[in-house]
Structure formats: structure tokens, C-alpha cells
Amino acid sequence: MLRRVLAPAADWIARRSGVTARDERRLVRAAYAAVLNRDATDDEVAHWAGRLAEGMPWSRFLTLLRNSPEAADAGASALARLDGTVEISLLADDPLPGAPLRFSASAADSVLLPSLLDTGGVWEPHMTRAVRALCGPGDRAVDAGANSGYFTVLMGAQVGAAGRVVALEPADEPRRWCERNALLNGHAGTTVMPLALWSEPTTLQVRAVPWATTAAHVVTDPTIPLGEGEVATDVPCTSLDALQADGAFDGGRLSLVKLVVQGSEPQALRGMREVAARHRPAIICHVNAVCLDALGQGPADISRELHAMEYRVLMLPKDHQRDWAATLPPAPDHPGLGLREVPDLAALIAAAPAADDPVELVALPR
């Protein structure tokens, strides 16, 4: 059964990771808009997509575009090349605290970079809006499954100099970028930890596909064969309750916990019951049915943990999910987020239009 679950998960990762000709064409169009402030012609798209498909590094393509005579006359750009990395100013509908914020990534990144170029520097707009609404100056915030640190940077700006951010990322490569991005924005109150989040301190195997920086996940049975391109590493795990006991959230209120831990969300919730009782933070929780199934659990396990902590379960719709979410009762909380009451999470996920389209929740104390 697990073998059948892992196969569609690998397909989903591949689709999200820029390995198709269609995505190469999308990158070309997004880069032209960001660097040259114009649309690429069909001939330009075909030319550069062909070069990329033949093996030209993305960094080389972006360097040629950025150093072209046209780029020098194009005016302000969202992108600047710095020593083999791409640095993007993070934008929003209204001013960000501490703006301009900056996010750096490898020019060869095939997940975050195309999306950030395509949107002018906004990753997952629904989550960006939620993070901005749910934490503020002087707060403590947790970014579990921090990846390269987009939301870590955003949290650091929201909580300011008096606040603190704890970012947890077990995979080495994205964690290095997360650390770099915190420093790039001068967020001295941010701590990036090489840990996975679990129900208790332990050591577990984490698997990741090096070219897909969003794919790291915990496995409890290391005898399961590796998926295509995966590497396995034993990684120390912790719980939020253990971090609280170590003083990670002292001196202020923990206002927000973001959990995007690829199927380990029930365990992470179980390991924060004391934190929830003390701080009553808002919780952003990722629900990916495929990843949950790979660990022998499902959406009902997330509901059970949230209800045990006396939290309400609300759907945070992505922009393309708003029609589907409209079948749920609207929630009065944070009206700008479009939250919807979720009476039965398992039924909601079972009715999802696409099985590989994850859902985000915002859980709030009752």
C-alpha cells in the first residue's frame, strides 16, 4: 500500500519542480516580466525554453537576461543577480514592515524561483495574508517546515526587533538558505534549527529529493524503499512542548505556529498541547492527504488533535479554491482571509476536486 501511495507523491513533486518543457516556458515568461518589465514574444520563449531543455543552467539564462542591453534600459527590476543566487524583493498589496524585504535562492531553484518571479515576490498569497494577519510586533512565531525561509522572513518582519521567530528545517540545503535569508533581512531575533518537528524528542529518518526543496518528509519505517531521487538522513526531532521547556518562547506570547511538515502534522500537534494551553496561538496547518496516508494516518487525525486542544477548524482557501470553499459556512474571524468553518475535515478532504491539491487550515482557540 505504501508503495502505491509514494508513486503519486513522486509524480506530484515532479510536476511542482520545473522538470517539464511547459514549466521551462513559464520560467522564461516570468523572467522576462521581472527583469525586462515586458512580455516575452513567442519566438523568445521558444528559443530560451529550448536552450534550457538542452541543459543551459537557469543561472546562466538569468545572468544573460539581467546583463543584456535591454535590461539596462528597463528601469527598476524585482530581480538582481548576486554571486550565483537570485535575490527578489518581496512585495504585497500593502507595505510590509521593514520593507523592502529580500529573499535569496539558488538561481537553479526549480520550485520557489519560478513562482516568485511569476508573482513579483509573493509565495502562496493565501498563506502570506494569513501570516501577516496572525502575528505582530513583539510576538513569538514558529515556522515548522521552514524550507528556504520565505515565511521565516515574513514572520521576522511582522514581529519586529522585540519579537522572536523559531524556524525548524531538517533538510540541509534549504536550511542554509533560510539562515542566509534571516541574516539578509537583519532579523537577529530569528533562530533557525536543524530539527524536524514530532510529538516528542527523538531521532527519525528524513527523506528528501535534493532538486525539490519542498519535499522533505519524516518516515517511521526506514525499510520502505526510497522513492525516485530520494536520499535519507537520520535527523534529530523535537516537539514544541520541549522547545517551550527550553525557554524558546520566554519573554512574550507565542501568537502563531505554522505547520507544513509533509504528513507529520498530527504528531506535531500532539507535541504542542502544553504550548497550546499556555499561549493559545493561532495555528496554520497544512493538510496533504497523500503525505498523511504515507504515514498511515489521515485528516481525521489532525481534527482529533485540534479538538483535543479545544481549537476550531477553519479552511484557509487558496485563491483557486474559493468556489469550492463557498459551500462551507463563512467564519467571522479575520474577514480579509476568507476563512470557512469546517464541520468535518475528513469529509472536506474526501470531496476535494483534486486529490493532490493540499488544503491549509487556520485553527483558532475556542
> Cell 502544553 belongs to which residue?
274
More confident residue, 252 or 18: 252
pLDDT of residue 17: 39
Residues 265 and 363 in one domain: yes
Residues 16 and 149 in one domain: no
Residues 213 and 330 in one domain: yes
Q: For 73-82, what is each residue's pLDDT tens digit?
A: 766 555 565 5
Residue 349 has pLDDT above 70, yes or no: yes
More confident residue, 346 or 91: 346
Mean predicted confidence (pLDDT) in 274-295: 94
Residue 276 has pLDDT above 50, yes or no: yes
Cell of 318: 487558496
Q: What is the CATH number of the domain that holds 332?
A: 3.40.50.150
Check if the beta carbon of residue 198 is closer than 8 Å to that of residue 268.
Answer: yes
pLDDT of residue 18: 41
pLDDT of residue 287: 94
Please give the Cα distance from 31 to 78 (Å, whole number).
Answer: 10
Mean predicted confidence (pLDDT) in 352-362: 86
pLDDT of residue 211: 55
Residues 91 and 187 in one domain: no
Residue 185 has pLDDT above 70, yes or no: yes
What domain range includes position 141? Answer: 124-366
Please give the Cα distance from 303 to 345 (Å, whole number).
Answer: 7
Distances, alpha carbon 324 to alpha carbons 107, 315, 316, 351, in Å: 36, 11, 12, 9
Check if the beta carbon of residue 61 is closer than 8 Å to that of residue 48.
Answer: yes
Tell me which of 95, 122, 149 is where a domain ends.
122
Angle at 213 between CA 360 and CA 362, to 5 degrees: 15
3-state per-residue secondary structure call for 127-149: HHHHHHHHCCCCCEEEEECCCCC
Residues 190 and 82 in one domain: no
Out of 8-17, 153-162, 341-350, least confident range:
8-17
pLDDT of residue 67: 73
CA within 13 Å, CB half, 232: 15
Residues 64 and 156 in one domain: no
Q: Is the dihedral of CA 323, 327, 328, 333 positive or negative?
A: positive
Mean predicted confidence (pLDDT) in 112-135: 84
Distances, alpha carbon 188 to alpha carbons 131, 164, 179, 185, in Å: 19, 8, 11, 9
Looking at residue 88, the DSSP 8-state letter turns out to be E
Top-confidence range, 21-30, 46-55, 301-310:
301-310
Mean predicted confidence (pLDDT) in 2-23: 39
Residues 340 and 359 in one domain: yes
Size of the chain in residues: 366
Residues 267 and 129 in one domain: yes
Residues 271 and 181 in one domain: yes
Tell me which of 96, 122, 148 is where a domain ends.
122
More confident residue, 7 or 114: 114
Q: For 46-96, what is each residue's pLDDT tens digit?
A: 999 898 888 777 767 776 787 788 877 766 555 565 556 777 778 766 778
pLDDT of residue 172: 87
Residues 220 and 362 in one domain: yes
% of the chain residues with pLDDT over 70: 85
Q: What is the mean pLDDT of the chain?
A: 85
Residues 96 and 134 in one domain: no
Out of 70-84, 140-154, 243-257, 337-351, least confident range:
70-84
Residues 134 and 281 in one domain: yes
Tell me which of 122, 146, 179 is where a domain ends.
122
3-state per-residue secondary structure call for 330-348: ECCCCHHHCCEECCCHHHH
More confident residue, 8 or 351: 351
pLDDT of residue 214: 60
pLDDT of residue 22: 54
pLDDT of residue 14: 38
Mean predicted confidence (pLDDT) in 250-276: 96
Please give the Cα distance from 299 to 286 (Å, whole number).
Answer: 10
The pLDDT-based confidence of 2 (bands split at 50, 70, 90) is: very low
Out of 24-33, 184-193, 293-302, 322-331, least confident range:
24-33
More confident residue, 273 or 90: 273
Count of the separate structural domains present in the chain: 2
Residue 237 has pLDDT above 90, yes or no: yes
Strand partners, 237: 196, 202
Distances, alpha carbon 87 to alpha carbons 35, 77, 100, 180, in Å: 12, 11, 12, 11
